[in-house]
Amino acid sequence: MMRKVISIILFSIITIVSAKGLDLNSPNGSVKVSVKVSDRVYYSVCREDIPLLEQCHLGLDIKGLSSDKKLKVTSVKSLRISQELNPVTPMKFSKINDLCNAMLIKLSNGLNVEFRAYNDGIAYRIITAAKGDQNGKVKISDEDVTLNLPDDYLLHLQPAKDFTSNYETNYIHLNAKQWKDANQMATLPALIDTKKGFKLLFAETDLTDYPCLFVSANRADGLEGTFSKIALQEKQEGDRFMRITKEADYIAQTSARRTYPWRYFIISKDDRELLESTLPVKLAAKPEIKDTHWIKPGQVSWEWWNAASPYGGDVDFVAGFNLETYKYYIDFASKNKVPYIIMDEGWAESVHDPYLPNKKVDLHELIRYGKEKQVDIILWLTWLTVEKNMDLFKRFADWGIKGVKIDFMDRNDQWMVNYYERVAKEAAKYHILVDFHGSFTPKGLEHKYPNVISYEGVRGMEQMEGCQPENTIFLPFLRNVVGPMDFTPGAMINMQPDVYGGKRPNAASVGTRAYQLALFVLFESGLQMLCDNPTLYYNNKECTDFITQVPVTWDETKALKAEVGEVAVVAKRKGNKWFIGGITNRMERQFSLDLNFLKKDQSYQITSFSDGINAGHQAMDYKKNAQMVSSHSKLQVHLSRNGGYAAVITEME
C-alpha cells in the first residue's frame, strides 16, 4: 500500500498538570472522543452529540511495573493527518483519502495512548517506551479493553467456545444483558447496534507479536477483552493441530518499546457506511514489501468442493486427484481467463511431506502445462507442515508455484500470530502468495505483507447446508469490513433451505442462482474462488461468462441499499465498467435502485441476472435481461427469498 503524504500538521505540545478532560473531534466535527485520566484512562464516544459509549477504559498490565493509582497526563501532542493511500490490493477503492485528527497522550506511568478521530469512527492504541529486561523485553500480564454500554444495546457476535476458535460459527444476535447471562466469548469483529440510530463495528488491526483480542461480557452489561496466554507446553493431535496443555500467567512477552494493536470503532449512521468504510486500511501498517508488481490478485478454480469430479462427453478419463483431472481444470481456467487453480489436499503423497507430490498427479508436468496455458498453481498445506518445512517457499518458487493455501491454524495466541507474519515474510522473499485458510479474521497483516491475499475466518460455502443466507447476509456488515474473505462462492446447483439435498460430488448451495452470481461482486477477496465443477460452468455458460468477468480489485464502491441482517446491495467500478451485486435473507423484496453514480450524459447497457418467478422454490430459476440505462434511470429489482441480483453496466460508444 503506497502512502502519498499530502500534509501532516503538528500542533503545539500542551503540558497538563492535573487530571483533565481532553476532547478530540473528527475533521467534520461529527465524531468526538472525550478522554479523562484518573486511576486509569477513560474515554467516551459520541456522534452528532449523541453518547454511544460512556466511561470505557483501557490500560496495560506489565509484569514488574507497579500500577500507578493516580495517573497524570504529562503532555498532549495534537496533529492532523491528511494523506492519500493506494492499497496494493484495493478491495473497495484504489485511492483512499486518509483524513483524521489525532492526539498523543503521555502518562505519568510511562504509557502513551494515541487516539484518532475520523469522520466515520475512532481508534486508539497504547505505546510503550519501557526499559525492559536485558533483552529489551517485557511480559504483558493482561490488557484492559473495557467497553461500557450505556443502554441494553443489541450485539451481533460470532461466538467462540475457547481460544481454538476457527472463526466459522454462525453469528448470534442478542441484547447486552442476554450476552452477560450467556457467559460466552466472541471473536472480532463485533457489531453493536446502539438502538439510537447508530451502529458500532469494533475490531482490531496492526496486530503483531501479540495475541488476538476476544471479547466477553463484563459485570456492567458491556464487553471486556480477553486473550489466550503464552503456551508453555503443547501436545500434537493428529497431523494439523497443536493443543496448548500448559499456559503461562501472561499473554505476551514482547519488546518494551513498541506500539500495540489499534482498537477501532467504525460508527455508522446509515448501514451503507459499513459497506463503504476503509478505516481498517487507514490504520494498517505500512507495507514491508517495496516491489509489489508480482502480487497479482485473481480468480481461482478449485476442486475440493466438487470433489474433483468433471464428467460429460469431453471427459474420457477417470476423474479424481490425478494428472488428467487437473489438466482439465487448467484447461477450464485458461478458456475463461482464470489465472489460478488450487490443488487442495491430495496433491502430495502425504500431508507431512511437501516435497513429494502424489505420483498420480505429476505436479511438475502440471506446472509446465499451466505455464503453457497461462494458468498458475496454488498448493494447499497444513500449517504444521509449513512450520516444519519453512524452506518450502524457496523450493516451490524454484518449481514455479505461485501461491500457498495454509490451513487449520485454529489458534490465536502470540506464537500463532507471529507464525502468520513469519510465513508472510518468508513467502514474500520468493514471490509466493498466501491464502490463510482455517484462520482468524484479517488484522492488518495483509497490508504489511500484501502477498497475504486472503483469509478464511468465515462460515463459508464449505459448510454447504450449514451456510445459510440468514447468516451470510451479516458478512458484508461484519466480517468483510475488516478485510478479504475466502468464502468460496460460485455454486451452480442451488437450493432453497427447505428442499436442500446437496452432497459432494454434487455439492449444492443454499440460496438462488442470482444470489451466487451477486456474491462475486458483493464479497471481497484478493483470491476469489470458483468453487464448482468445470462441467457445470460449461453447462451454464452465460452465468460463467458473468462470473469470470467480475474483477477482484476495485477502483470505487458505492453502497446502494443496506440494512444489517436484511439486505445488502453495492455497485463497484473497475475502470469504466460498473458491477452491481445484492443479496437478501429469507424475505422476498421489491425495490428500486438509483443509478445516479453513473456519468451524466452517457448511455450505458446493463446486463442483469435476477431471480426468476419460481426462484422461491426452484432456486436455480433466474432471468437474464439487457437494457439501456443512464444516470437518470431507476432499476426495479426483485429479490426472491434467499435471493440475489447481479449486473454489469458498460458504456455505449
Task: Please provide the average confidence, as pLDDT, over all residues in the chain.
Answer: 95
Q: Which residues contact 70 (CB under 8 A, 6 or more apart)?
A: 38, 39, 108
pLDDT above 70 for 40: yes
Kindly state the percentage of the chain with pLDDT values over 70.
96
Please tell me what DSSP assigns to residue 124.
Answer: E
pLDDT at residue 18 tops 80 = no
Diameter of the chain by CA atoms? 83
Of 154, 141, 175, which Cα lies nearest the Cα of 61? 141
193: closest CA among 178, 175, 181, 177? 175
pLDDT tops 80 at residue 65: no
**pLDDT 10s digits, 506-525:** 999 999 999 999 999 999 99
- Find the helix or strand (DSSP H, E) in which 182 lies: helix 176-182
Average pLDDT over residues 175-199: 93
Q: Is the pLDDT of residue 604 over 70?
A: yes
Domains of the chain: 2-151+194-210+251-283 (2.70.98.10), 298-491+520-539 (3.20.20.70), 492-519+555-653 (2.60.40.1180)
pLDDT in tens, 312-330: 999 999 999 999 999 999 9
Least-confidence region, from 61-65, 153-157, 270-274, 379-383: 61-65
Residue 410, pLDDT above cutoff 80: yes
Look at residue 17 in the predicted model and tell me its pLDDT: 37
In Å, how far from its chain's centre is CA 43? 27
Q: What is the mean pLDDT of residues 362-391?
A: 97
Beta bridge pairs of residue 32: 25, 46
* The residue to which cell 459509549 is assigned: 53
Q: Render pLDDT for 606-634 as a digit per residue (tens, 0 to 9).
A: 999 999 999 999 999 999 999 999 999 99
Cβ partners under 8 Å of residue 603, min gap 6: 628, 629, 630, 651, 652
Question: Does the pLDDT at position 9 exceed 90?
Answer: no
Look at residue 31 in the predicted model and tell me its pLDDT. Answer: 98
pLDDT band (50, 70, 90) for residue 585: very high
Instruction: Tell me how many degrees the CA angle 28-31-37 measures, rounded to the nearest 5.
Output: 125
pTM of the model: 0.96
Q: Which H or E run includes 335?
A: helix 323-335
How many whole angstroms separate alpha carbon 651 and alpha carbon 653?
Answer: 6
Task: Report, as an integer, the average pLDDT of 62-75.
Answer: 81
Residue 401's φ and ψ, nearest 5 degrees, are -75, 140
Give yes or no for residue 69 having a pLDDT over 80.
Answer: no
pLDDT score for 219: 79
Of residues 201 and 4, more confidence is placed in: 201
**pLDDT of 2 higher than 70:** no
Residues in Cβ contact with 269 at an 8 Å cutoff, skipping those fewer than 6 apart: 47, 48, 197, 198
* Residue closest to 125 by CA, chosen among 58, 191, 180, 208: 58
Q: How far lies 409's CA from each of 344, 347, 406, 441, 524, in Å?
A: 16, 20, 8, 12, 22
* 616 vs 587: CA distance, rounded Å: 10
**Whose CA is closest to 393, among 335, 434, 442, 450?**
434
Q: β-strand 376-382 against 340-343: which pairing, if any?
A: parallel
Pairwise CA distance, residues 592 & 188, whole Å: 34
Residue 292 in contact with residue 450, Cβ under 8 Å?
A: yes
Return the active site residues: 407, 462
User: What does the angle CA 7 – CA 77 – CA 284 come to, to the nearest 5 degrees?
Assistant: 55
pLDDT in tens, 251-307: 999 999 999 999 999 999 999 999 999 999 999 999 999 999 999 999 999 999 999
Per-residue pLDDT, averaged over 587-603, amounts to 97
Q: Which of 545, 430, 524, 534 is nearest to 479 (CA)?
A: 524
pLDDT band at 11 (very low <50, low <70, confident <90, very high): very low
Confidence of residue 181 (pLDDT cuts 50, 70, 90): confident
